[in-house]
Chain A
Amino acid sequence: MFTDDAGKAGMTAEGPGNSAKSNRRTGGDLVQLITPGGERVSHPEFDSWVQDIGDEQLAALYEDMVAIRRIDSEATALQRQGELALWPPLLGQEASQIGSARALRQDDFVFPSYRDNGVAYVRGVKPADIVKAWRGNALAGWDPYSVNVATQQIIIGAQSLHATGYAMGIQNDGADSVAVAYFGDGATSEGDVNEAMVFAASFQAPVVFFCQNNHWAISEPVLLQSHIQIADRASGFGIPSMRVDGNDVLAVMAATRIAIDRARHGGGPTFIEAVTYRMGPHTTADDPTRYRDANELEDWAAKDPISRLKALLDRKGLLTADLEAAVAANADAVARELRSGTINMPEPQPLDIFKHVYSTPNSSLDRQQDHYTRYLASFGDPAAAASEEGAR
């Protein structure tokens, strides 16, 4: 019973969802532009938002999705080989991440969670930087201002407030960029996500709440988080929402463009629920066979986001041997870059532990650093002393 979409039982009658009455629609039925079989179906409201996505763009989206799936499998392999301490796979969520991230402008600012590695990749984060924190070489892998992506948030939902505050700043600056918060179904139970929606609505901040409902918060099914559809939570805050097929890259892109456009033009926040599925474990340390049915995975495998887009390309006669070869070559190159960047990553130095705690000198910490420096020096060879410390 927990495998159904959230809130089927508790859903209130809303009338036909797809024929939205206005663009301030809420939740409703799942919006889909590509069927699991790869058929392009039309939608009166959403079609116009992806009208410009021609053959070339579809192929590019396909290439992105294959690349991030490859990053994901390569990172999982690196973890199994002891090169990463942990990895949170995004397997199954490629359409949600690519469709949304490719709808953004470079000056929009993203506040991701730890699983949004596909978002980071298409925003320009280098593959090895994506795994830097998971290797334990840093707490975060990149300078947020270099790619307009905040470092990945591990505290569930906390970044939704950061996105909202950032959006309030955009508003004060009179700029037309947008902040986007990425989080999951579990996060919608957190106070911070709810407070973020209160603030966003009160100040009509240019923020998009992009929720990937991947059905599982580690072992907890989405029904434990919500007894109504997650998208419908937004209406309680006075925030318009959409519920889209998160394994359909075009539907996700259209919804994100609608939300971004609204925010850019002073229309305030929007909540998007991208209904998708976490096909892998929560992290490489997790064992989903303890809590979910293998049949469920099979059902979702049939709705796979990449197979679906591939089928569409095939129907359109675009899936040529050349395209397949180019897409595979790109994925191979990204994987090679990830692997060599990981293995050759410079090791941090012992005294780096003291860096950047404060932006200006701090007398107490300076003393601790001085004492630890002397301690290391007492071994004669600080580097050897540090590795000995680590071995204990």
Chain B
Amino acid sequence: MVNEEKVRLMTKLAVFEENKGKKTLPIGDYYRSDYISKNLLSGFIAGTFAYLILVAIWALHEGEELVQKLLALDFGHIIFMVIVFYGIFMVLYLTVCYLVGDAKYRRSVKSLKAYKKALKRLENM
């Protein structure tokens, strides 16, 4: 005899695993601090790379003017400004990374709890 209630529960679990669970379940393998650190680390690399690209675009756009400034021995000032902006950019970007990671982790913990509860119920059936 097919247990209808069991099928219903298993279907819900399978639908979860197919859709939301694909992203949520792997997050459950991490501790919160580990997950966020991982996010921040990859964010640091991606952000630095993006900033370098932005600086390169700016340098290409400024072109001659920049060369003149460099020739006028304003080198230190330019490097200083590039580093200051890098700091500001990274603080902003990493804050976003932190908030996104935190929100994702919290959401996944919530649905993981419900998922585990349902699994337990299934076990007891």
Answer whether A and B are interacting partners.
Answer: no
List chain B positions with a Cβ less than 8 A from chain A.
none
A residues adjacent to B (C-beta < 8 A): none
